[in-house]
Amino acid sequence: MKYFYSFSAIAKREWIELKRYWFNSFIGIVMYILVFLALFTGAQSIGQNNFALMDSLEGFLIGYALWFLAIGAFSDTAHSIIDEARKGTLEQLYMTEIPFTWLLISKNLVSTVFFLLLFVFIIIMQMQITGIALNLDLLSISITLFISLFSLYGIGLILAGLGLVFKRIQNLLGAAQFVIVGIMVLSPTTIPFVKFLPFVYGRELIMNIMREGYSVFNFTIIDWSFLIGNSVIYMLVGLYGYKLSERQVLKRGMLGQY
Amino acid sequence: MGMVDYLQVNNLQKLYYVNNSKIKAVDDVTFNVKAGEVFGLLGPNGAGKTSIIKCICGLLDYDGGDIIVNGYSMKNKRRKGLRHISAVLEGNRNIYWRMTVKENLEFFSGINGISSSKVKERINYLINQFQLQQQKDTVVNKLSRGMKQKVAIAISLIANKDIILLDEPTLGLDVSMSHEMRSILRGIAKDENKTILLSTHDMNVVEATCDRLIIINKGKIIAKDTVDNLKSLFNKEIYKVTLMEGPKNQLKERLKKVAQLLNYQKQAENTSLLLQLDNGNQLIEIFQLFKEEGISLIAIEKVTKNLEGIFIDLLKEEQHEILL
């Protein structure tokens, strides 16, 4: 039960912060919609076959929403740890008998629920703006997104660890955004090995769900294996990378310094 | 039966590597803190106090020795040790400044694995105890430094752990808040029956709150005893003598044979001397000297050293030893 109570505490804190600082989140979504409108209008005027991000309007719409979400997911982990270190509260989180890893996973679980709601909201907004109809199979989208986001949290953990050790990693975080653009563009059907990259397989499945009407009930063993395996492996790699950084940080006493 | 050692620090060593050179931040530090005791870690800035505190609460790996918290080594059983420790580190940074006092208390009980229904009473008790009734729904960011420190200490008590570590609890507080903080600390030890380890460079805090203390400088213990013992040990027979006129050189030399002349101040209307004697009987000899030289005595008073004076003496002594 201790783990449940700590999860509840993290969830409540996230809710309080979201509620109290809703204006910042609201402006973020408004900016996103405005940029989407500009890109969409520009893309329409160039022509359907010349999209830089995707090969169709539907693909562009989903790809852009997923990119927004992916950026949020990996930077959420990295930023939140670095932010806690800067404020000094990270040391307190390390001083509980509940493992810090659990507190981190709790935060990721809560963020995932938030990201799922956000994704559905912005997709509906985009569908209204563009008049494009997509298959909104909420169950399939939620399950796939829920699982695949953990691969990005793993990457976020590595970046967070680097942030604790090297302190200033803004440029690396900036560069990672471009890497995620690459992840959104690369297709495992044309370049098979990219399905080993984080989030790629999940993204492809979500594309198929929303465009082709694919469903979790049609997922093959290979689909499930890649989806779950990819997230588990990247999360484990992320946790291991973070632990390596943590060892250095605890040795040098830098947990509360930023 | 003696009290149980809740916290044992045995031959603790912490090294830092700066520019390829090794710095001993904590050098063979050993002490123990008994249940219900208020123990002080006194030392100047950079003495190694925070490093010791952070090693105890598992935020800093140590290179030698061990720390045992209620029977658990912080090297191998860190998480079990943490069941008994909570801490307020320097600058009351254990609080979420964008959450209210009550929200903070609820959050920190939750992440320690305590259910919100179980902790309700405890939250109300602490809010009353720390007189935070009016501030309980205020965002911490809007509170004064002293209030924030109160909240930080209240948070450290929320999980009802046995040992509370406080790093510089009165740093940056005004005089009245510093006084209030000292009475809060005494109250915690007495009413809550907590074991407190506090680090400070403020001698008044130690004098007012601690049962025992260690004084550290450059990572090493230079004194370890009860506050009372240290005070009596270092309070030699020191007297401030005020004379009508200054003693001539000849008298000064004669005085130095009887007592140690610590200070000599010549003012417009009188002269004061600070003399350290081996025992009070030497005063008779000194009076005799004054009589022989025809010097009029205005006043004589015994000087009692507070902890600050002792602390400065110890640092001077250590400096002297290094120079030798």
pLDDT in tens, A159-176: 888 888 887 777 777 777
Check CB contact under 8 Å for B113 and A87: no
* Complex confidence, ipTM: 0.79
Residues of A in contact with B91 (CB under 8 A): 88
Give the separation between CA B256 and CA B261, rounded to whole angstroms: 6
What is the helix (H) or strand (E) element at residue B300, kind and residue range? Answer: strand B297-302
Task: Tell me how close the Cα of A125 comes to any Cα of chain B, in angstroms.
Answer: 31
Q: C-alpha A239: how far from its chain's center? A: 16
Residue B96 sits at the chain A interface (C-beta within 8 Å): yes
Residues of B in contact with A20 (CB under 8 A): 98
Task: Give the per-residue pLDDT at A224.
Answer: 93
Residue B281: CB partners within 8 Å, gap ≥ 6? none
What distances in angstroms separate CA A147 from CA A59, A143, A251, B158, one per listed residue?
A: 21, 6, 34, 36
Give the separation between CA B237 and CA B270, rounded to whole angstroms: 23
Query: Is the pLDDT confidence value at A234 over 90?
Result: yes
CA A188-A192-A196 angle, to 5 degrees, is 80
What's the whole-number mean pLDDT along residues B115-130? 86
Which among B51, B37, B256 is positioned nearest to B164, based on CA atoms?
Answer: B37
Which among B34, B86, B64 is positioned nearest to B219, based on CA atoms?
Answer: B64
Residues B9, B29 contacting (CB under 8 angstroms): yes
The dihedral built from the CA positions of residue B186, B189, B192 and B194, taken in this order, carries a sign that is: positive
What distances in angstroms separate CA A108 from CA A25, A138, A243, one per listed residue?
A: 18, 20, 17
Nearest CA in chain B to A94: B59
Nearest CA in chain B to A89: B94
What distances in angstroms separate CA B218 from CA A240, B43, B222, one per listed residue?
A: 36, 9, 9
Query: Is the pLDDT confidence value at B59 over 90?
Result: no
What stretch(es) of chain B map to CATH 3.40.50.300?
5-230
Query: Is the pLDDT confidence value at A53 over 50?
Result: no
Residues of A in contact with B83 (CB under 8 A): 97
Query: Is the pLDDT confidence value at B280 over 70?
Result: yes
Tokens 């061990």 locate to B66
Give the separation between CA B69 and CA B6, rounded to whole angstroms: 6
Q: Supply the Cα-derived Rg of chain B in whole angstroms.
A: 25
Task: Tell me how close the Cα of A47 comes to any Cα of chain B, in angstroms.
Answer: 48
Residues B25, B44 contacting (CB under 8 angstroms): no
Residue B108 sits at the chain A interface (C-beta within 8 Å): yes
Check CB contact under 8 Å for A91 and B51: no
Query: Is the pLDDT confidence value at B30 over 90?
Result: yes
Confidence label for B324 from pLDDT (cuts 50, 70 and 90): very low
Task: Give the per-residue pLDDT at B13.
Answer: 93
Residues B166, B197 contacting (CB under 8 angstroms): yes
Task: Give counts: helices (H), strands (E), chain B.
Answer: 11, 14
Task: Give the per-residue pLDDT at A89.
Answer: 85
Taking CB atoms and an 8 Å cut-off, how many pairs form between chains A and B? Answer: 96
Confidence label for B269 from pLDDT (cuts 50, 70 and 90): confident
Task: Give the per-residue pLDDT at A52.
Answer: 44
Which among A188, A221, A222 is positioned nearest to A204, based on CA atoms?
Answer: A188
Confidence label for B247 from pLDDT (cuts 50, 70 and 90): low
Residues A156, A76 contacting (CB under 8 angstroms): yes
Give the separation between CA A40 and CA B199, rounded to whole angstroms: 61
What's the whole-number mean pLDDT along residues B213-217? 87
Residues B9, B280 contacting (CB under 8 angstroms): no
Check CB contact under 8 Å for B107 and A12: yes
Task: Give CATH superfamily name and number for B5-230.
Answer: P-loop containing nucleotide triphosphate hydrolases (3.40.50.300)
In this structure, how many other beta carbons lie within 10 angstroms of the beta carbon of residue A135?
15
Residue B109: CB partners within 8 Å, gap ≥ 6? A9, B116, B119, B122, B123, B158, B159
What stretch(es) of chain B map to CATH 3.30.70.980?
236-303
Mutating which of A20, A22, A83, A97 best tests the B interface, going by the most B Cβ atoms within 10 A? A97
Which among A146, A123, A147 is positioned nearest to A62, based on CA atoms?
Answer: A123
Task: Give the per-residue pLDDT at B55.
Answer: 92
pLDDT of A94-103, one tens digit each? 888 888 888 8
Give the separation between CA B15 and CA B248, rounded to whole angstroms: 54
Give the separation between CA B139 and CA A223, rounded to whole angstroms: 48
Confidence label for B9 from pLDDT (cuts 50, 70 and 90): very high
Residues A70, A62 contacting (CB under 8 angstroms): no
Question: What is the secondary structure of A65-125 as a DSSP string?
Answer: HHHHHHHHHHHHHHHHHHHHHHHTHHHHHHTSSS-HHHHHHHHHHHHHHHHHHHHHHHHHH
Task: Give the per-residue pLDDT at A51.
Answer: 45
CATH architecture of the region B236-303: 2-Layer Sandwich (3.30)
What's the whole-number mean pLDDT along residues A136-144? 91
Among the partner residues B79, B85, B89, nearest to A256 by beta-carbon distance:
B89
Helix (H, G, I), strand (E, B) or coil at B185: helix
Residue B61 sits at the chain A interface (C-beta within 8 Å): yes
